Amino acid sequence: MKKDNKPTSKKIQDLEKDMKCPIDHTMTTNDGVKINDDNNSLKAGERGPSLLEDFIHREKMSHFDRERIPERVVHARGSAAHGVFELYESLEKYTKAGFLTDTSRKTPVFVRFSTVAGFRGSPDLARDIRGFSVKFYTDEGNYDLVGNNTPVFFIQDGMKFPDLVHSVKPEPDNQIPQAASAHDTFYDFVSHATETLHNHMWAMSDRAIPRSLRMMEGFGIHTFRLVNASGKSCFVRFHWKPLLGIHGVTWEEAVKINGADSDYHRRDLWDAIEAGHYPEWELGLQIIPEEDEMKFDFDILDATKLIPEEIVPVKIVGKMTLNRNPENFFAETEQAAFHPGRVVPGIDFSDDPLLQSRLFSYHDTQIYRLGGANFNQIPINRPINEVHNNQRDGQFQTQIHKGKSSYFPNSLAGGCPHLAKMAEGGFTSVPAPVEAHKVRARSESFSDHYSQPALLFRSLQPWEQNHMVNAYSFELGKCTQQHIQERMLFQINKINEDLASKVAKNLGLKVPKSIDMPVNQAIGADADGSDQPGDVKVYLEKSPALSMTHIKSDRIDARMIAVLAADGFYMKDYQSIKDHLESKNAMVKLIAPHGGTIKCNEGMEHKVDAALMTTESVLYDALFIPGGKSVDALMNEAKVFKFIDESYKYCKAIAVTANAEDLLKNSQAKDYKEDKFIFIDGEPSNFSSAIAKHRNWDREEKAKMISV
Ligand code: HDE
C-alpha cells in the first residue's frame, strides 16, 4: 500500500497492513479469479433466462445481501477519528500505566463520538447526551476510556439500563419518535426513577445540543482506580477539556440544522481534520486518596453524582489531538469496539455498581454485533503489541496458531506462552478487602437525588437557565399524558421551584403538591417507603465549573464564516477579513446568488463556495458582508435577509463594510448599532474575538421576536 502524507502512528502503521487500494489492480472475485464483465449476469441467450451457475453474480449478490451488521443498541450514530495522546508530566506517583508515566510516548488513539438514542442514520443535532469513547493503543495493550459529554449518568445500577433505554428509544408500537427524548415513555420512566433527574438536567442544558463535537467536554463518569508500581491505589475521575471551549446551539437552530445538514457534526469533525485544524482536548484527573473515600456528602461510587471541581480540583496531565480521518467508515468507525473493562496495568475498577454492570455488557454486545468471539482481531480493535494466549478457533479466526499446545501449563511448548511476572507488567487486581452479605439492594448513601441537580441549576448563567426552562417546556410539552407531565413537574419542583413554576406556566399546568406514586414504582424508595428519597442539601452554593462558560478560549479553528457577496464586492474589505480569519484557522465560505464564480470590484473572478439556494445561515458561525456594487444585487435576494435575521436572532457575530450596512438597516436587526458583536467597518481582530466567544447571549431577549 502506497504511503500518504497524513499524520501517522504505530497504530496507523499497523492498520496499513490491511489497507486496500484498487489503483492499478485488476478486478477479481473473492477467490482471486479475474473478472472481465461486471455489468451483465450469465444468461441463456441475451434475453435470458439467467443461469444459476453464474458464480460471479451469485458471489456479488450474496455478499451484498450481508453488508449490514446489527447497529449498536445504544450510541448507534457515531463519527470517529485517529489521533495521539501526549503526557505533560509523569504520574508515576499514582499509576504504573506506561502512557501515564512516560512523557516521551506518543500514544495512538481512536476516538468515537456518538449520540445515544438515535439510529445509525439519525440526525446529529438531536437533544441527547454524546458518547466520547477513546481507545488508547498503549505499548502494554489497549485501554478504553468510554465516557460521555456529561459528568454523571442517568442511573445508579446497571439493572435499570435496559429500562432506561427502552423508555428513550422510539416507542415500541409505532417506532416514533426517532432520536428524541421528548415523548411519554421517557418521561414516564424519568419521573418515576428520580435518580435520573440529575443527568436529565444535563440533557436539558445546551451541552446536549453541541455546536461541534470538537467543543464538548468528556467525562469517564465513574470513579476508577489508579495503581502505582508499589501497588498503592487511589481513586480517580477522568475529564477531557476541549481547547476550543464548550459551546452549544439553541434548540430552534438545532431543528433547522438537522433539516439543512443532518450530518452537521460528522462533517464538521471531518472537515476540520482534513483542513489540518486538529481538535484538541486536555486530559484532567480528579485524584482522591483511598482514605478520603467516605469523606464526601455523596458516595463517590454513585455515577449520578459528580465531584465538584471546587472540592477536588482537576489536574491537567496531557493532551489528545485528533489528526487523521478514518480511511473507511465501516472498517474503522462501525467496527470499533469500546469497552470500559479494557484496562491496562496501573488502572483498575471501583465498586460502582453501574460500572460493574458495564463490564459485562460491552463485551457481550460486541460478540453479538461483530459476529463472534474473535472481534478483537479486526484491525481497528487489535492492540499494537503482540497477543498470545490459548484461546482458539471460533468464527472469523484470522490467525494461524502453530504447534500442538493450546493449554497451560504445558511442556510441549516449553510452558509458553509463559506468564508475566509482576515486574514484567502482569495485570493484578487491587486486593481491596470485601466482607459482606449477598443482598439485592441499593446503598442508603445513593439516596440523595435532588441536591446535585439543584447545584447544577444554581451554578448556571442566566442564559443557560433560560435555555433550560425552554428545553424542559419543549420536552414535556411533547408528552401527551397529563399525569406524566404533572409527575415531572412535581419532581422538578423538588429541585428548583422557580424552574418548575416557569415550566408549568409554559405547559398551562399547575405544579402538583403531591402525586400518586405506588411504592413499588419508586425506584429510590425503601421497600415500605412513602415517597422518593432525599431533600435538597446545599454543601456547595455554586460550582462555576458546571457552567459552559468555565473554559475560555480565543480559538476559532474551523469555525464556518459565511461571506455574502455578488458581482462588484469590495475586494480589499473581503481580502483583509478573509486573510485574518484564515490566519486563525477559520473556514471562510463565499456565498452568492448563484454558483460558479463572481467578480469583485477589481475585476477578478472568485469561485463561489455555495449558491444561496443550496445553503442555510444556521450552518455558519458568523456572517460577513463586504460593501460594493454587490449590495444592490443582494438587496433583491430574500435569502440574504434570512441570513441576516437568523444570524442576529441566534446571537452571532456580524460584520459589514461600507454600504453593506444598508442591508442591516433593511433587516429585522433593528438594534444593530448598539450590539457589541456587530461590526461596521470594524477591525477584523474584533470580529474574530467575538466569533471565539461564540454568541452574544445578551442579545437573545431583544432578538426573540424576530420571525425567521
Ligand atoms: Fe454504554 N453501552 N452502557 N454507557 N456506552 C454501549 O456497547 C451500557 C454507560 C457509552 O462508541 C454498548 O459496544 C450499560 C455509561 C458509550 O462504540 C452497550 C450501561 C456511559 C458507548 C452499553 C451503560 C456509557 C456505549 C452499545 C449501564 C458513560 C458507545 C454498543 C450499566 C460513562 C461506544 C457497545 C462506541 C455503548 C451498555 C452506561 C457510554 C450496550 C449496560 C455510564 C460512549 O454495551
Q: Is 356 in the pocket of ligand 1 (CB under 6 A)?
A: no
Decide if pLDDT at 592 tops 90: yes
* Cα-based distances in Å from 228 to 98, 225, 420, 431, 656: 11, 10, 17, 13, 58
| Residue 148 CA to ligand 1 centre (angstroms) | 9
Ligand 1 centroid–CA 342 distance in Å is 13
For 600-614, the pLDDT digits (tens) are 999 999 999 999 999
Q: Is the pLDDT of residue 311 over 90?
A: yes
The ligand 1 atom at the shortest distance from the C-alpha of residue 220 is: 32
The dihedrals phi and psi of 188, each to the nearest 5 degrees, come to -60, -45
State the pLDDT at residue 7. Answer: 97
pLDDT score, position 517 = 74
Determine the average pLDDT of the residues in 280-305.
Answer: 98
Mutate to test the pocket of ligand 1, among 72, 199, 207, 378 (most ligand atoms within 8 A of CB): 72
Q: Which residue has the cell 435496559?
A: 162
- Residue 532: predicted pLDDT: 47
Written as one letter, the residue type at 36 is N
Q: How far is CA 485 from CA 179, 192, 473, 475, 515, in A?
A: 20, 12, 10, 10, 11
C-alpha distance from residue 631 to each of 231, 565, 625 (Å):
71, 8, 9
Please answer whether residues 587 and 559 qualify as being in contact, where contact means their C-beta atoms are separated by less than 8 angstroms: yes
Distance CA 134, CA 418 (A): 30
Q: Taking 90 as the threshold, does the pLDDT of residue 120 lie above it?
A: yes
Residue 567 has pLDDT above 60, yes or no: yes
Residue spans of alpha helices (H) in 138-228? 161-168, 184-192, 197-203
**pLDDT confidence of residue 424:** 83
Catalytic residue, from 142, 148, 325, 374: name it: 148
Among 588, 15, 551, residue whose Cα is nearest residue 277: 588
Q: Catalytic site residue 75?
A: yes
282 pLDDT exceeds 70? yes
All cell numbers assigned to 261: 445538514
**Stretch 7-34: mean pLDDT, rounded?**
97
Q: pLDDT tier at 530 (50, 70, 90 boundaries)?
A: very low
Cα 517 to middle of ligand 1, angstroms: 30
Confidence of residue 519 (pLDDT cuts 50, 70, 90): low
Contacts of 536 (CB under 8 A, 6+ apart): 450, 451, 454, 494, 495
**Ligand 1 neighbourhood includes 338 CB (under 6 angstroms):** yes
Q: Inform me whether the pLDDT recorded for 534 exceeds 90.
A: no
**Per-residue confidence band for 520, with pLDDT thresholds at 50, 70 and 90:** low
Reported ipTM: the value is 0.98
Q: Would you say residue 524 has pLDDT above 80? A: no
